[in-house]
Structure formats: structure tokens, C-alpha cells
Amino acid sequence: MPPILALLLWFVLLVALLWFDPAKDKRTSAALWIPLTWMFFLGTRLPSQWIGSQGSINAQALEEGNPLDRTVFFALILISIAILLARSFNWGAFIAKNLFLIAFLTFAMLSVAWSDFPLVAAKRWVRDLGSYLVILVVLSDPRPVEAVRTVMRRLCYLLIPLCVLMIKYFPEAAKSYDPWSGVAQYVGATTSKNMLGVACLLGGIYFVWDTASRWSTRKDKRAKRVLFVNFAFIAMLLWLLALSNSATSKVCLVLGAMVVLVAHSAWGKRHSTLVKVALPSAFCLYLILAFGFDLNGQFASKVGRDPTLTDRTLIWNAVLSQHTNPLLGTGYETFWLGPRLDRVWAIAGHVNEAHNGYLEVYLNLGYIGLGLLVGMLLTGYRKIKNTATSSPTLSLAPFNLAVWSVMLFYNITEAAFRSGLMWMAILIATVEIAVPEITEIPATVPPTLRGFNGRNRFSGRSKAHDTARELKFLSRAKP
């Protein structure tokens, strides 16, 4: 098939899938296209890269950025702010519920003062602020569970078939080459094999969770169509993941799928406390074995991988040899600039991340920033536990728990605490906002239980109920 014809066919099928999607919820807000656009660019290529002006990878390009990218992202930020203002978003309650996140962002902003590149640090802080704003657009939706489902599903509809299309029909744009070995690597619609692995990882967790949450209704005609689409995309994801050869994403996908399946199983529901305690305990045990007894190197050798984790240990030694300020770091997102970048490149090659999320945060924001990040993860875990419910179809808890667990392990060998799809996913999982008033009542709830006040709304007392109690109330209601 000619590439142009294949591209046209992909576009037609994409429109048809979005229009006739069996999982489509007609009540979702059009505002969700804003976070979807933001996540698409983060997960694939920047706007300037899509039109072909990728430019060369050098220190000056990393410092200056691209005007088109800044314009697009700034426009999305302004639209997100307008949406939140139109929804009368409760900023005070958001700050009170996310103190560690606010402290992390504030400290990152203050780090501009001691950065070697204050202008670059300030611009990157403003740019990354958009990630938090678009996530608030999703979570502040009157129906947040369906909003997350919609954004994640549309993102996979856009990204996964596009990667397949580019690999099959536009291989010159779907491959990258290692600057040292010259080995070809499949990247699809992204810019690196690890980014392709992340897209498959997050999409895989989503479709496993969505499938598990719908499995009890699998005999329903609509549910059958949704499950068929899910299995088709899981097959594409596994094929792409195999091509990407991203070992970290493969292992983390298995971990995420296990967490989702255990959370939905009868055993997991009976022993929910054990499951919640086991996950952080397993991570602590892994840290002791990995860094105390060199578990990573030994395991990699057993499975035929590089015991240095593909030169990651070389990169870690190179960045630590720069002797940055241990308490404050170098300033927000400015470690990989200037003379430091040249020195690291001379030791470890052309890399622009530490391949360890915790180390990356330490380099830029020191122990203070790393401590605030850990606090954010711990409070986020508490939020996930508090929103757990016995009705998986009405809760994001299993998906959030899988993302949280995967994020801990993924950042051992990759850096995902700064931007990208995994960072967006962890924000969905951990950010807590004030519960919006429920504006529509499911049809399964009888009129006698609806608290109907003439405008298809709950009475004012529903505002005093937290999300978990509202969802449990709806799940117990009999048609």
C-alpha cells in the first residue's frame, strides 16, 4: 500500500473510531481535548518536530528551545486557566489538599534565583506548570472517572495506531540511530525507544484496568464491543513494546498489570490492607537488595542484559562527579546545560538525563527538592488508599495504585519525575481536589434516592460528602 494511502486510511479509521467508539461517553466535556493535546505532544514529538524543524542536538539548542513550541504550550496554558476559572475552581481547597506538591512547585520556582541559567529555568518552570493545569482540567470535570477514561482512551487511539503506521509505512521517520554504535532503534511517533516504551507502558496499564473494570459486564453487547477494542489495542501495544526493546517498560508493564488484576480479584478485595502495605514494602526491600547487594547487575547478567544497565552506572558516576550543591541543586531543569553538559558528554556520551528519576531531581533541586517529591508521593498514596472502593467501575483506585507502584520502580533506571506521560499519570493518581457537585444522576438510581431538586442535581448537602462516600452510595443504589 502506498504510504500516502495508508496515512489517509489511518485518518479515516481514527475519525470513525472516535465517532463510533463503543466506550464513548456523550456527556464528556469538550474541554478534555486540551489536556489530550498537551499529553499527545509530551508523549510524541514537539510541534516544531512534527513540522520537520527538529534541529541538531547541541548545548545551544537545549538552552534556547523553539519559539513555535513555546507559543503552542503557552496557548494551551492560557486555555486551561480560562477553563478552570469558568468552572470556579476552588484554588484554596486544592492548595490545602496538596501541600507537598505546592511546596515542590514553589521551591522549584525559587531555585531560579541560584540557577546558572535563571532565564532558562524560569521558562521551563512556566512551561511545566501547564502539566499541572491540564491535569486539573481533567480532575475538575463533574465526572472525573469518565474524564480520565476518555482522555486516556483518546490518547491511545491517537498515539498507538500512529506509531504502527509510521513504523510500517514511514520507517525513515520512525527510526533513530544510536550516535555511537549506529544501531537502528524503533521510535514510532516518538523521539526515542524509551518514549515509545512509556507510551506502551501507560496504554497497557490503562487497557488492562479498563478491561478488568468492565469484565463483570462482559455479556452485555456494548461491553463486548469495548472489550474487543481493548484486546486489539493490547495486541498492538505488545507488538510495539517488543520493537522498542525497552526493558524497563516491559518489566513495569508486568508489574502494573499484576497490581490491577490483584486489586480487582476477590482475594485482593478481601485482603486490601495487605495489598496496600505490600507495595511500598516491596519497593523498600528492592532498594536494599538492588543497591546493597547489586541485585540489578546480577539480574541483568542472568537474563543476558548488560550488567551496567546499558551504561547507566557510567552516567550516574559522571553526573555525581560534577559535585553540585547537595542541598539546593543547580536550579530547576538546568543541570544539563553549559559546561556541566560538556563535561558529562565527554565522559558518558550524548545524554540529557540521568536515567534515574530520583537522581535527576537531586541534581536539579538537591535534597530539599527530593524530600518534597517523596512527601508528595507518600501523601498521594494516602489519597489512593482513601479513595479505594469495592466497586472498581466507579473508582480510579486500581489504575492509580498501578501507576503509583510502577512509577517507584520505573524511576530507578529512567527519569520520569519531570515531564512526559508517566509524570502526567502520576499527577492524575496523586493530585487531590475538592469534590465537584454531581450534576447528573445515573439512570440506575431511582427517583426516590436521587435527592432531585428540579434541575437534575443533588441537593446542597452532597457537597459535604467526599468522593468515596458518594461513589459507594451510587454503587449500592438499586435500579
Whether residues 303 and 350 fall in one domain: yes
Whether residues 420 and 457 fall in one domain: no
Whether residues 426 and 447 fall in one domain: no
Whether residues 157 and 109 fall in one domain: yes
**Which residues sit opposite 175 in a β-bridge?**
186
Tell me which amino acid residue 472 is: K
Whether residues 81 and 171 fall in one domain: yes
Range of the domain at 466: 437-479
Closest by CA to 186, choosing from 170, 199, 160, 167, is: 167
pLDDT at 448: 39
CA distance 155 to 138: 13
pLDDT at 468: 47
The pTM of the full predicted model, rounded to 2 decimals, is 0.83
CA distance 247 to 241: 9
What contacts 48, CB < 8 A, 6 or more positions away?
54, 55, 66, 68, 69
CA distance 425 to 404: 9
Whether residues 344 and 411 fall in one domain: yes
Whether residues 260 and 356 fall in one domain: yes
Residue-wise pLDDT for 285-314, tens only, equals 776 666 655 565 555 555 445 545 556 788
Whether residues 179 and 197 fall in one domain: yes
pLDDT at 25: 85
pLDDT at 306: 52
pLDDT at 40: 95
Whether residues 195 and 278 fall in one domain: yes
pLDDT at 149: 93
Residue-wise pLDDT for 4-47, tens only, equals 999 999 999 999 999 999 998 888 889 999 999 999 999 999 99
**Which residues sit opposite 36 in a β-bridge?**
none
pLDDT at 269: 75
Q: How many domains does the chain have?
A: 2
Write out residues in the chain with pLDDT < 50, as ranges.
Answer: 54-62, 303-304, 307, 390-393, 437-479
Whether residues 168 and 86 fall in one domain: yes
Whether residues 317 and 457 fall in one domain: no
Whether residues 172 and 109 fall in one domain: yes
pLDDT at 65: 66
